[in-house]
Amino acid sequence: MSSISEFHLLSVLAQEMNMRKAAERLFVSQPALSQRLQSIEKDWSTKLFLRSQKGLTLTPAGEIVLQFVNETITREEKARETIFALNAEVYGTLKIAVASIVGQNWLPQVLKKYVSRYPQAKISLMTGWSSEIAKALYEDHVHIGIIRGTPDWKGVKIHLFKDNLYLVDTEISSPEQALDADRPFIQFKSDSNYYQEIQDWWLRKFQTAPKRTIIVDQIETCKQMTFNGIGYAILPAITLNGAEQDIFKVPLHDENNEPLGRDTWLLGYESAFQLKQVQAFIEIVKEHIDESKRNNN
């Protein structure tokens, strides 16, 4: 049976599908790597990779072995995390999945404090849409997920903050002006209910659709187009860091004249919150939120 170190070797080979690149990552020579692979294949009594000028290709048997390898590596990581959790120091890898807008505008300040205070800990970070974050949590690929909107989650759920929505433009200074403006309404794609909230607000306010609309794929693109005077947009406060100049930011209100905003939540399973690296992260998150509230008061 192959050892854990050989499992990691196979995993790197499967990721790179190239002997030279895999050898560089593993800090070994190509002949040494080739010899070790032959030994592993002999141990499994089958070819795991086919070689060609284009690189490596997994055989059907190789696909089965690699599935087993990846499952074993994941179990090893969890075992190490559990052992590290028994120690007083914060070690291990903190695995986070974060909505892109939070990863770009809020999380860096938190992670800066985290890596400064806990230099022994490692961080694995993925960003994406909230649906992708939820999927990573359900499949147990990460310890913590941070998403936008109102989550349907049965595990641990911590409310982080709510940021208000603003109509943003270089010319329009009130929502009513947007109805008659010839300028386009710039919207960004989202898989959350954000788009629907904006649509509902607009129809309640004006009972008609915008005259012109531009759809972009990223919120940062939407923001930059707006700041450069191409049109107007509705953006959450988290994207408006106060450095922008000559920009009108008009707060939106719902039918009860309450500020319209977006909630951000931290989610996870109870078992993940027993890990010291996760507990340390939560502690810093709470400190950061309290500090932000004091600065805003």
Domain CATH code at residue 193: 3.40.190.290
Please tell me whether residues 152 and 275 are part of one structural domain.
yes
Please tell me whether residues 152 and 269 are part of one structural domain.
yes
3-class state of residue 99 by DSSP = strand
Question: Residue 79: how many CA atoms within 13 Å on its side-chain side?
Answer: 7
User: What DSSP element (H or E) covers 123?
Assistant: strand 122-128
**Distance of alpha carbon 250 from alpha carbon 129, whole angstroms:** 26
CA 46 from centroid of its chain's CA atoms: 39
Q: According to the model, what pLDDT value does residue 226 have?
A: 92
Domain boundary among 85, 114, 147: 85
Contact 11/66 with Cβ under 8 angstroms? yes
Strand-strand pairing, 213-216 and 261-268: unpaired
Please tell me whether residues 57 and 118 are part of one structural domain.
no
3-class state of residue 136 by DSSP = helix
Contact 266/145 with Cβ under 8 angstroms? yes
Show the domain range for 102: 93-159+264-296
Q: State the CATH number of the domain containing residue 46.
A: 1.10.10.10
Q: What is the pLDDT along the chain (297 residues), one digit of tens a residue?
A: 457 788 989 999 999 999 999 999 999 999 999 999 999 999 999 999 999 888 899 999 999 999 999 999 888 888 877 776 666 567 788 999 999 889 988 999 999 999 999 888 889 999 988 888 988 998 889 999 999 888 888 889 999 999 899 999 999 888 888 887 888 999 887 766 777 788 888 888 888 888 888 999 888 899 999 999 999 999 999 888 765 678 899 899 888 888 888 899 999 999 899 888 899 999 999 999 888 877 776
| Residue whose structure tokens are 């989610």 | 267
- H helical segments located in the chain: 4-16, 19-26, 30-44, 60-85, 100-105, 107-117, 130-138, 175-180, 194-206, 219-227, 276-296
Please tell me whether residues 112 and 97 are part of one structural domain.
yes
Domain boundary among 26, 52, 85: 85
User: What DSSP element (H or E) covers 91?
Assistant: none
| Residue whose structure tokens are 């641990």 | 156
Please tell me whether residues 188 and 276 are part of one structural domain.
no
Please tell me whether residues 127 and 200 are part of one structural domain.
no
Q: According to the model, what pLDDT value does residue 214 have?
A: 92
- Which pTM value belongs to this model? 0.67
**Count: domains in the chain:** 3
Please tell me whether residues 258 and 170 are part of one structural domain.
yes
Dihedral angle over CA of 129, 130, 132, 138, nearest 10:
170
Closest CA to 17 of 53, 60, 71, 46: 53
**Distance of alpha carbon 186 from alpha carbon 164, whole angstroms:** 18
**Distance of alpha carbon 212 from alpha carbon 184, whole angstroms:** 5
| Residue whose structure tokens are 């986070």 | 96
Please tell me whether residues 68 and 105 are part of one structural domain.
no
**Distance of alpha carbon 86 from alpha carbon 100, whole angstroms:** 33
Q: State the CATH number of the domain containing residue 131.
A: 3.40.190.10
